[in-house]
Structure formats: C-alpha cells, structure tokens
Amino acid sequence: MIDPPVGQDVGAPEPRVRPGLTHERVGVFADAIFAIAITLLALELPRPEREDYARLGAFLGDHANSFVAFAIAFLMLWFTWRAHHSLFDQITRVSQRVLALHVPLLFFVAFLPYTTSVFGEATGLPDEAAGGRALAIALFAANEAILMLCQGAMIAVVLRQGLQRPDANLSRLRTEGWVDWVGGVYWLLTAAVSGRAAEYVPFLWLATPLIAFGVARVVVVLRRRR
C-alpha cells in the first residue's frame, strides 16, 4: 500500500482545477480548429470549370503548385497537431499563459488555409510578379514558423510551471520543445531569404525532417554527457 503524502488525509479529495483551466476542454476546442483548418486546406484547392474537363490533365498540371502547397501545409499541420496532442496527454491542467499561447496558435492554424492558397497560386506566376511570389512564400513560411514557435513556447511554459503529469516523459517533452524552437527559427529564416531566393525556399523546407532529427539527436547526446 502506498502511503499518502505527508500532511494529506487518507481519502481526501484531489485538488480541484480552477474553472476554465481544464485541459480537456481546451484540447477538444483546439482539435476542432485543427480539423476545420485541415478540411479548409482541401476546399481551397482550385477546381476545374466545365470547359476545363476537356483538358483536365493540363488543368491539374497548371495548378500543380497548389497541390504541392496543400501537401506541405497538411503535413506541417498534422505534425503540429500531433505535438499538441502529445503535450495535452501529459498535462493535468492549463494555466493562463498556456491559454494565452493558444490565441496565436489557433489564429494561425485557422489562417493557414489562406496563406497556403496564396502561396500555391503565387508560385505559378510569371517573372514580372517575382515580388508578389516572394511575399506569398514568406507569408506561408512565417505562418508555419509561428505554429512551431507557439508549440515550443507552450512546452516551455508547461515545464516551467509544473503542469505535467507525474508520469510525464520530461526528457521527451524537452526534446520536442527544442525541435519546435529550432524548426520555427529555421522556417523564419526561409521567410527572410524568400526575397532573394524564392525559387529555392520550398526545397529548403524539405530539410525540416532532417533538422528535427538532428536537433533531437544533439539534445539526447548533450543530456547523456551531463
């Protein structure tokens, strides 16, 4: 039999969570916003008119950039949701700071279908519109960066305020936090260079999984050396 903590009566009720700070309701609301945003990503894809069906293959080829943008946004949104889901499975409540971080997080989750659509259409523009194309790429990259930075900040707040469950994997949470921070900064850097190298920025995004893996390995190695 496990003895109760010192000063706590046997059979005493568990401390109640302050109304409005239950993590279950926040998680359910966030899941709904993520689900709606993922659905809207598909709704923003270009659809052929009646006359386009005679050349459907060419139509799809002309809008290939929009489908690539959809794939990138879907994967990044999926990984952001998985990180959020994993975090909320390891906390007992939220705090005012965690709630505050959900404002920019969910704002830019909802905004992502728009920036994805703009980015997808802009990448097919002629060279005369190079400035607009660079800005569209920068907006999309900054949108994704903010999602990762908000997630990283949320993990940092949870660990600092001790909101995690007693059985939470602290090492994994810290590693995920570093991955989010570094990934967010990396995407911000790609947004910053889009004005001079817009055509290469989407290829830089492909390195995101490698960067995440590298950061995780470095964090693990440094932790073992302590």
pLDDT computed for residue 125 by the predictor: 63
CB 157 within 8 A of CB 100: no
Place of tokens 């899941």: 31
Integer Cα distance of 150 and 181 in angstroms: 9
- The one-letter code for the residue type at 138 is A
pLDDT computed for residue 122 by the predictor: 80
CB 62 within 8 A of CB 91: no
What is 89-156 written as a DSSP string?
Answer: TTBS---HHHHHHHHHHHHHHHHHHHHHHHHHHHTTS-GGGHHHHHHHHHHHHHHHHHHHHHHHHHHH
CB 130 within 8 A of CB 143: no
- The one-letter code for the residue type at 43 is L
> Which phi and psi (to 5°) does residue 140 adopt?
-65, -45
Show pLDDT as tens, one digit a residue, over the chain (226 residues).
Answer: 444 444 444 444 445 667 667 889 999 999 999 999 999 998 888 777 777 777 777 777 777 888 888 999 999 999 999 999 999 999 999 999 999 999 999 999 999 999 999 998 887 666 666 778 889 999 999 999 999 999 999 999 999 999 999 999 999 999 999 999 999 999 999 999 988 888 889 889 989 999 999 999 999 888 888 7
Q: Name the nearest CA neighbour of 194 among 123, 121, 93, 146.
A: 123
pTM, whole model, 2 decimals? Answer: 0.85
